[in-house]
């Protein structure tokens, strides 16, 4: 069995929150080569989206492996050291603990991991996003694995016709549920349409009995108890041979759908599919970006990547994102551009609530006073 892991963290932004400094990328690549040479990893690739470093790795230790997570933690500590030396913004901001404690659960870095038996041809797509949250994957995963208007294979491919099982997390109550689709489709949509709380963690083929997709579901604000940066999720999707084709997996991103994130993690904005070279949000810390890196995995080796959004077929989505960004920005501090108050719990909203608590008075008091003055 092969395990494909993507582990990511923001350990310092260059400039502001827009990118990763080349020296940090070089350090991460040196650490990756050492891990491959030592036999810890079969193969690895280092990439970035916005100010997040992503470690894409193959190994045989399975998900949540101490050795793999420890390696990633040490690598992010090394890149944090460089960020501090260079005075970069938010150095080490995603590292919420002083010491590693077995695996990365609850420690800040996000990760998505898939363990599988390698097929004769194993195409996978690693999605990296910046300036948004884990729920950003809900809509595209629904389109890929449950919408026949997006994925013709749901009708045409006999192996896909039975549908898929979606594992959904409730991030607030730390509970999970499986939705058997298409039978449970309407019930599932009621929940995943609220992506701030309910997120798709994995998708499994009912015919192949194999996991087809996995996402990172870590919410930094829920871990830290305060806003320390957006979650910047990652996702792995396996393709072809009873699973959605590469083109079907990419198709949802021809629509620049709205996500939460952008400036200070507190605004709705369109998700823009971009090539790796354009994955550097700047305007109002946005628009949020997503990169698609395609690999063929063979004997655990990562053949690639192919920069799949470096394609003029996505130009209209990018233009749509720019136009949608104009529309949202005209709202300024008003909803629906700004997130609703319940999603601003970990910003200054809590401080303002306490500060102004004594200045709020019952409306009935005002009415009684006014009536008394008239009489």
Q: So which residues are the catalytic ones?
A: 10, 227, 230
| Dist. CA 214–CA 204, nearest whole Å | 9
Q: Is 10 annotated as a binding residue?
A: yes
Q: Is 261 annotated as a binding residue?
A: no
Q: Is 184 annotated as a binding residue?
A: no
Q: Is 150 annotated as a binding residue?
A: no
With vertex at residue 149, the alpha carbon angle to CA 195 and CA 192, rounded to the nearest 5 degrees, is 15
State both tokens at 221.
């604000």
Q: Is 98 annotated as a binding residue?
A: no
Strand order in the sheet with 2-9: 43-49, 52-59, 2-9, 110-116
Q: Is 225 annotated as a binding residue?
A: no
| Dist. CA 76–CA 11, nearest whole Å | 7
Q: Is 173 annotated as a binding residue?
A: no
State both tokens at 136.
């950003």
Q: Is 69 annotated as a binding residue?
A: no
Q: Is 170 annotated as a binding residue?
A: no
| Dist. CA 296–CA 319, nearest whole Å | 30
Q: Is 172 annotated as a binding residue?
A: no
Based on C-alpha coordinates, what's the Rg of the chain? 22
Q: Is 241 annotated as a binding residue?
A: yes
**Beta partners for 297?**
122, 302
State both tokens at 288.
């949020």
Q: Is 130 annotated as a binding residue?
A: yes
Q: Is 198 annotated as a binding residue?
A: no
| Dist. CA 72–CA 105, nearest whole Å | 12
Q: Is 306 annotated as a binding residue?
A: no
Q: Is 240 annotated as a binding residue?
A: yes
Q: Is 285 annotated as a binding residue?
A: yes
Q: What distances in angstroms separate CA 149 from CA 7, 135, 286, 291, one per listed residue?
A: 32, 22, 29, 23
The kind and range of the H/E element at 153 are helix 153-156
| Matching residue, tokens 């026949």 | 148
State both tokens at 17.
């929150």
With vertex at residue 343, the alpha carbon angle to CA 271 and CA 328, rounded to the nearest 5 degrees, is 40
CA 148 vs. chain centroid, Å, equals 24
| Dist. CA 221–CA 321, nearest whole Å | 26
Q: Which of 269, 211, 262, 273 is nearest to 237 (CA)?
A: 211
> Angle between the 185-192 and 138-146 helix axes, to the nearest 10 degrees?
160
Cα atoms in the 13 Å half-sphere on the side-chain side of 355: 5
Which amino acids are annotated as binding site, given as ranges?
10, 17, 51-52, 89, 93, 102-103, 130-131, 230-232, 240-241, 264, 285, 346
Which amino acids are annotated as binding site for dihydroxyacetone phosphate, given as ranges?
17, 131, 264, 285
Which amino acids are annotated as binding site for Mg(2+), given as ranges?
10, 17, 51-52, 93, 130, 230-232
Which amino acids are annotated as binding site for beta-D-fructose 1,6-bisphosphate, given as ranges?
17, 89, 102-103, 131, 240-241, 264, 285, 346
């Amino acid at each position: 069995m092969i395990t494909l892991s993507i582990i990511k963290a923001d350990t310092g932004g260059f400039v502001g929150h827009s990118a990763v400094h080349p020296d940090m990328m070089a350090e991460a690549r040196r650490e990756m080569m050492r891990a491959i040479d030592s036999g810890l990893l079969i193969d690895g690739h280092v990439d970035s989206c916005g100010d997040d470093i992503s470690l894409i790795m193959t190994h045989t230790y399975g998900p949540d492996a101490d050795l793999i997570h420890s390696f990633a933690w040490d690598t992010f500590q090394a890149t944090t050291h460089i960020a501090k030396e260079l005075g970069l913004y938010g150095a080490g901001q995603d590292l919420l603990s002083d010491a590693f404690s077995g695996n990365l659960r609850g420690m800040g870095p996000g990760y998505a991991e898939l363990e599988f038996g390698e097929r004769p041809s194993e195409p996978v797509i690693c999605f990296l996003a910046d300036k948004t949250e884990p729920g950003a994957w809900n809509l595209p995963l629904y389109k890929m694995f449950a919408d026949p208007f997006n994925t013709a294979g749901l009708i045409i491919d006999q192996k896909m016709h039975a549908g898929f099982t979606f594992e959904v997390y409730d991030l607030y109550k730390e509970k999970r549920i499986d939705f058997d689709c298409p039978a449970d489709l309407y019930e599932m949509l009621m929940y995943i349409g609220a992506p701030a709380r309910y997120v798709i963690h994995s998708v499994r083929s009912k015919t192949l009995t194999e996991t087809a997709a996995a996402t990172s579901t870590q919410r930094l604000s829920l871990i830290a108890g305060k806003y320390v940066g957006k979650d910047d999720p990652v996702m792995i999707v396996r393709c072809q041979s009873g699973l959605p084709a590469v083109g079907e997996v990419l198709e949802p991103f021809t629509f620049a759908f709205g996500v939460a994130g952008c400036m200070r993690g507190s605004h709705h904005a369109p998700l823009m599919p971009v090539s790796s070279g354009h994955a550097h949000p700047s305007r109002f810390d946005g628009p949020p970006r997503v990169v698609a890196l395609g690999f063929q995995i063979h004997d655990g080796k990562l053949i690639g990547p192919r920069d799949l959004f470096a394609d003029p077929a996505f130009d209209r989505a990018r233009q749509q994102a720019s136009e949608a960004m104009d529309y949202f920005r005209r709202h300024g501090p008003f909803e629906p551009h700004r997130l609703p108050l319940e999603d601003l719990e970990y910003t200054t909203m809590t401080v303002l609530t306490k500060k102004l608590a004594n200045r709020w008075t019952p409306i009935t008091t005002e009415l009684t006073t006014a009536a008394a003055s008239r009489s």
